[in-house]
Chain A
């Protein structure tokens, strides 16, 4: 019944972004995060106006919009990933709002005060976090966990030269990923069985609730060990040997899509770097200078 439900956020579709090589998406996610952190979020001696950086966030927003359109994932599933960390974002924003001493005081009460600099840095902090989470969610939304594991293995290959057992680690990761839906299904079955015997998991104090999990966990462990045993036998009987040089069933090849994606994301990185070090926020002054600059 639940066999076709993969875990995690993966949203099946047949889009440009889905067809990209997992390695491309992994690398470009890193490029995106690096670029995002080059946009200033607070005023320093090199960033002399608190409102510098809004242009960078606008560009980022536009880039993400293009990526989302090409990924054909519904906005709802992206917003869901923000929902999980909404509390942290709000908490950080509120703290940030009160800590800055620079700039003009807009509001004060007893020892609390809010300055215009604080408002700008708070807005930029929220923008940075929200855009970061949206950008990082594209990878799991458009790539199956197995593809991510394969991509990671391929990217980490150089570590093999210094005797890091990359292949073993990748195998462990893929097996773990492979068995998450299976164990999930198993857990649901056991929960149903014990519920049918009158067990309840949402009443009583913490200690009682923890104790109520025993009838779930023991059968789950028993069946996990049984499965592990069976899998080990199956691998042995196919002469599995992790130390040999093994070929892959799925060979990932980069194509024109990956080239386009690299060009696009690197163009974005270049714009952000130019904005910061060459134009030195000229675009911010042109767009926002009129009503933010004094």
Chain B
């Protein structure tokens, strides 16, 4: 069973008004369980609309979709789907509202109607998973934390619901380089320990090239490319068709190739380094 199957999804905002705007056009894709799945596209390409369909925040109108075997069109299942798919939105720190970190993280589990003991267990586990000291942070106000800490608390709030699929919308937006690295390390840790299926929405091609097993690239609501990072970034018209940039490693490899050097397609810095090493050795021999 695939984690997510979406078929022929089309969505139009403000239908039949002068503000009508088609955000998604005939979108179909499959996410396998255990995959890290990347969704890339320029601003306004429909990424946010797409992910809001995945936990039924937007009701599916045209198309079919199943999440872990449950239909997105079956009204009785929507609540369960919402708990199965954890959603970390852009700048999630803006969702914080409670008096203490503990209460804020407990909001989701409480809405699920869990027992008090279970809620406490989950809250403690989630706060520790995101790398915060429970004893130190639990009773503090979320509003007096630093930006990076706030984001961790917000992510903990989603993790505490123990979702089976985790969707992260621009998880590193607005963070400094160290903060980005920390959050990416956290995502990796969450994938290993909590939730193997992860969907990341991003503008950052370097991050997605490194993390994702599979990518879809959206442009004006349509899927332009669907494949592994290597497949997607190998397209020569990638830049024109999606208005995105290549990952830095791919860009450098492309420039080297233009100089007449026979270099294989790469997407990550590690691949680039080993490819350059191979060429260097070949020349020395």
Question: A residues near B, CB below 8 A?
Answer: 1-2, 4-5, 11-13, 189-190, 192-200, 214-215, 218-219, 222-223
Are B89's CB and A215's CB within 8 A? no
> How close is B134's CB to chain A, nearest CB, in angstroms?
20
Instruction: For the complex, give the distance between the alpha carbons of A11 and B17 in Å.
Output: 9
- Docked-complex contact A196 and B94, CB < 8 angstroms: no
Contact yes or no, A4 B95, CB < 8 A: no
Contacts of B95 in A (CB 8 A): 190, 193-194, 197, 215, 219
5 contacts between A and B (CB under 8 A): A189-B89, A198-B108, A198-B112, A198-B161, A214-B97
Whether the Cβ atoms of B57 and A197 lie closer than 8 Å is no
B21 → A minimal CB distance (Å)? 8
Chain B residue at minimal CB-CB distance from A226: B94
- Which of A2, A189, A195, A198 neighbours the largest number of chain B CB atoms within 10 Å of its CB? A198
Question: Is A196 within 8 A of B158, CB to CB?
Answer: yes
List 4 tightest A-B contacts by C-beta distance, closest first.
A198-B111, A218-B97, A196-B87, A197-B108
Across-interface contacts of B19 in A (CB, < 8 A): 4-5
CB distance from A202 to the nearest CB of B (A): 13
Binding site for A on B (CB under 8 A): 13-14, 18-19, 21, 23, 44, 48-49, 52, 55, 57, 79, 82-83, 86-87, 89, 92, 94-98, 107-108, 111-112, 143, 157-158, 161
Q: B143 contacts A196, CB within 8 Å?
A: no
CA A215 to CA B104, docked complex, whole Å: 9
Contact of A219 with B97 at beta-carbon distance under 8 Å, contacts A5-B19, A192-B52 already known: yes
- Indicate whether A197 sits within 8 Å of B158 (C-beta atoms), given known contacts A1-B44, A4-B19, A192-B52: yes
Partner of B18, one of A1, A12, A198: A12
Instruction: Determine the distance from Cα of A90 to Cα of B55 in the docked complex, in whole angstroms.
Output: 43
Closest Cβ–Cβ distance, residue A217 to chain B (whole Å): 8
Q: How far is the CA of A192 from the CA of B54 in the complex (A)?
A: 12
B205 to chain A, nearest CB (A): 23
Q: Give Cα A192–Cα B158 distance, bound, in whole angstroms.
A: 13
CA distance A214 to B110 in the complex (A): 15
Give the shortest distance, in Å, between A165 (CB) and chain B (any CB). 34
Query: Closest CB-CB distance, A266 to chain B, in whole Å?
Result: 32
Q: How far is the CA of A2 from the CA of B48 in the complex (A)?
A: 12
